[in-house]
Amino acid sequence: MTSYGGYTGTTYGGGGGGNDGGGFFGGSQSGSQAAGSAGSEDSLRPVTVKQILDAEQLFNRDTSFRIDGVDVSQVTFVGMIRQISPQTTNITYRLDDGTGIIEVKQWLDADRQDDASNNNPSSPSRFHEDQYVRVWGRIRSFGNKRHVGVHVIKPVTDFNEVNYHLLEATYVHLFFTRGALTTGGGGDGGDGNAAEDDSMFVENNDSVFLQGASARARKMYQYLNQAKSSEGTNLHVIAREANMTVQDVMAAADELQGHGKIYTTLDDETFAVLEGF
């Protein structure tokens, strides 16, 4: 497990070992230690594809990256398979998590016959396009192009895992950028400050977020917050009912997703408030 302040993350049962750098899930690490040290080889960071693509590369090396000012050794994320490209030595998957698309490479070991066995949940033959999977691996860069070298890839059998992962990645991002939550307010206390909010997110205080947001982002967020639809609302419906242009809705969606306030649901044009469930 990995601990961030008062919140403890999970290792997701991914198992150790792999073809791209060895085992992981080596033990717990406190948030303050993680923020203050060069990334531990045992650390595992839940991320989005956008965070991987935007990660700072250190010293022009293809294996050293930093997200939110913290060294990252191994990552996990959930995405939908958009394309599968089998080759002799590896299989390349293009994964889409709603924040971006990235290639992940699963290297094949000719000595491991179980890679081709249907009894192995990580077997390439188990996967197909438009299927959600969870990936554990390391960020790589080759020819100025990012990809993830896969340790383990497994199918997502419960769609709640997709939403859970986005929530967890948002929490960890806020932990490193805003600091750990303080457990002050309780039932009687709290003066309304975001740091004393007993919710999962520091940024859960709408007024704090709305003060710094653009007018179109505020308008779209307020509309979605009132709609409270678990299936989300299509951007054309938002444009019509919120009296916005489609271009403004798309720009507002990028801003809101960047702040972890909304996420895509049925497709890339359907949005819902992330904090409302």
Q: Can you tell me the distance from the alpha carbon of 105 to that of 146, in angstroms, rounded to the nearest whole number? A: 11
pLDDT for residue 133 is more than 90: yes
The verdict on domain 213-277 having CATH code 3.40.1480.10 is no
CATH 2.40.50.140 occupies which residues in the chain? 3-163
Q: Which pTM does this prediction carry?
A: 0.54
Give the best-scoring range by mean pLDDT among 135-149, 172-186, 248-262. 135-149
User: What separation, in Å, do the N-terminal and C-terminal C-alpha atoms of the chain show?
Assistant: 25
Instruction: Let me know: does 232 contact 262? Beta carbons within 8 Å.
Output: no
pLDDT band for position 186 (cuts 50, 70, 90): very low
pLDDT in tens, 222-231: 888 888 776 7
Tell me the angle at which helices 215-227 and 246-258 cross, rounded to the nearest 10 degrees. 80
CA neighbor of 75 nearest in space, from 59, 102, 52: 52
Instruction: Let me know: does 48 contact 139? Beta carbons within 8 Å.
Output: no
Q: Can you tell me the distance from the alpha carbon of 25 to that of 11, in angstroms, rounded to the nearest whole number? A: 6
CATH 1.10.10.10 occupies which residues in the chain? 213-277
Q: Where are the alpha helices (DSSP H) in 45-136?
A: 49-54
Q: Can you tell me the distance from the alpha carbon of 85 to that of 101, in angstroms, rounded to the nearest whole number? A: 15
pLDDT for residue 162 is more than 50: yes
Q: What is the mean pLDDT of residues 45-60?
A: 88
pLDDT band for position 96 (cuts 50, 70, 90): very high
Higher pLDDT, 21 or 245: 245
Q: Can you tell me the distance from the alpha carbon of 124 to that of 108, in angstroms, rounded to the nearest whole number? A: 9
pLDDT, position 224: 86
Q: What is the mean pLDDT of residues 179-195?
A: 51
Q: Which residues pair with 93 in a beta bridge?
A: 84, 104
pLDDT band for position 271 (cuts 50, 70, 90): confident
**Topology, domain 3-163:** OB fold (Dihydrolipoamide Acetyltransferase, E2P) (2.40.50)
Mean pLDDT over all residues of the chain?
Answer: 74
pLDDT, position 36: 41
